[in-house]
Amino acid sequence: MLSILILSHSPDIARGLKEMCLQMISGDVTIEAVGGTKEGNLGIDAELVLNKLQELMANSDGVVVLGDIGSTILAAKNALNMLGFPANVCIADAPLVEGAVVASVEASLGSPLQEVVKKAEEVKSLNKL
Amino acid sequence: MMYDANYFRRFIEIFAKYLEENKEYLTRLDAAIGDGDHGINMDRGAKAALDRLSSTNPKTPGEIMRTVGMALLSSVGGAAGPLYGTIFMRMSLAFGNRDKIDDKNLATALEQALLGIKGLGKAEVGDKTMVDVWEPVVNFLKENIENGRTLPEICEEVVALAEERMKATIPLQARKGRASYLGERSIGHQDPGATSSYYFFRSLCEAIGGR
């Protein structure tokens, strides 16, 4: 079973996107979201990202991390550095909303970690019109 | 010179004082080319660091730097959280459990910190980031310390170099972070991360004699 970790600079985006992803899934996948500072303002709590990632690693076979702007990606990379680059965690280089939805669906279908990351990253070249 | 736990506590206190005194200034710099929260974020982070230092009372330089690093990670909120968090965590790792740090250890720790932020943010000199201050200052420190000089002997030069490199970010176009979204409009503004980095090195020097 895989986990998806959504990171946003905005607590509202994190909460809303988790809700969207949960609505899309049919199978066994854990979706968690971290957004905003401790006080609930725009920003990211990089220590909470580290703790949440450790928790998901312990309770699933792999974790796909997705973030929006710079600070969230730096928080994710920092957590990976501190955990010694665990093999079962990948940051997907994908747009956050579409990437997280696609990753959630793909993970709920039982695809392996690398396949989920690949599908999420393919969203970058998705045409909407 | 040997740098003990008291030196590093003094350093953190001075750095926190600079961040508090310049909170509005840093925020104004960030408002021009970023999201306008660098001053508020760094001040909040530094205060959280001081709180954790007084509640957990770490004993060695390495433990002090680790405590500060974790506090910054949890409290800064913006990209500066992971970046400054990495600086302090890398320095903590380099110090290990030594009770006293010599100039060579200090130079090595600062070099590790520089490699840490470059690895994390993928910024190079000229991108209008904190690396514009960090890389030349760390290289200067390393070279001089390898040649037998000590930080107290070169403090004035370190502070002058950090200030010069900070000001040299003004004409640059940002290539990393939120400021890069502005393209050419980022030209003409001093980088807030380079500015807080200047306070970092100034504090490191001033902690030698107290402020």
Q: How confident is the model at residue B174 (pLDDT cuts 50, 70, 90)?
A: very high
CA geometry: angle at A69 spanning B169 and B33, to 5°? Answer: 30
Residues 6 or more apart from B68 whose CB is under 8 A from it?
B12, B49, B52, B53, B88
- Whether A81 contacts A73, CB under 8 Å: no
| Number of structural domains in chain B | 1
**B78 and A71 in contact by Cβ < 8 A?**
yes
Range of the domain at B76: 2-209
Q: Residue length, chain A?
A: 129
The verdict on a CB contact (< 8 Å) between A42 and B177 is no
Stated length of chain B = 211
Window 132-161 of B, Cβ < 8 Å to A:
none
Chains A and B form CB pairs within 8 A to the count of 65
Does A71 contact chain B (CB < 8 Å)? yes
Tally of CB atoms within 10 A around B4: 14
DSSP state of A30: E
Alpha carbon separation from B129 to A31, A82, B115, B126 (Å, rounded): 34, 23, 14, 8
CA distance B144 to chain A (A): 30
| Section B158-184 average pLDDT | 95
Residue range B158-171: average pLDDT?
98
Find residue A36's DSSP bridge partners.
A44
Q: What's the confidence (pLDDT) of residue B132?
A: 98
Give the integer Cα–Cα distance in Å for B140 and B157: 9
Banded pLDDT at B211 (limits 50, 70, 90): very low
Q: What is the residue-averaged pLDDT of chain B?
A: 96
Count of the separate structural domains present in chain A = 1
What is the CATH classification number for the domain harbouring A63?
Answer: 3.40.50.510
- Token pair for A128: 């909407």
Kindly tell me if the per-residue pLDDT of B95 is higher than 60.
Answer: yes
CA distance B10 to chain A (A): 25
- Whether B49 has a pLDDT exceeding 80, the answer reads yes
CA distance A49 to chain B (A): 9
pLDDT range class, residue A27, cuts 50, 70, 90 = confident
| pLDDT at residue A43, as a whole number | 94
Q: What pLDDT score was predicted for residue A76?
A: 97
Q: Categorize the per-residue pLDDT at B209 as very low, low, confident or very high, splitting at 50, 70 and 90.
A: confident
- Indicate which of A9, A72, A74, A83 best probes the interface with B, i.e. most B CBs within 10 Å of its own CB: A74
Reported ipTM = 0.85
CB contact under 8 A, B41 and A43: yes
- Tens digits of per-residue pLDDT, B51-87? 999 999 999 999 999 999 999 999 999 999 999 999 9
Q: What is the CATH number of the domain that holds B85?
A: 1.25.40.340
pLDDT at residue A128, rounded to an integer:
86
Per-residue pLDDT at A26: 83
| Mutant choice from B115, B120, B129, B178 vs A, greatest count of A C-beta within 10 A | B120
Select which of A9, A18, A52, A119 is catalytic. Answer: A9
Residue B129's pLDDT is 96
Answer yes or no: do B86 and A43 touch at CB < 8 A. Answer: no
How far is the alpha carbon of A79 from chain B, nearest alpha carbon, in Å?
9
With bands split at pLDDT 50, 70 and 90, how would you rate the model's confidence at A31?
very high
Question: What does the DSSP 8-state code read for residue A44?
Answer: B
**Average pLDDT of the residues in B119-123:** 94
Q: What is the mean pLDDT of residues A1-19?
A: 97
Interface of A with B in 7-36 (CB under 8 A): none
A9 is an active site residue? yes
Cβ contact B98:B63 at 8 Å: no
Which residues form the domain of A68? 2-125
pLDDT of residue A70: 86
Is the pLDDT score of A21 beyond 90? yes
Mean pLDDT of B127-145: 98
**Across A110-119, average pLDDT:** 97
When mean pLDDT is compared across A26-35, A81-90, B9-18, B202-211, the lowest value belongs to B202-211
Q: What is the mean pLDDT of residues B154-168?
A: 98
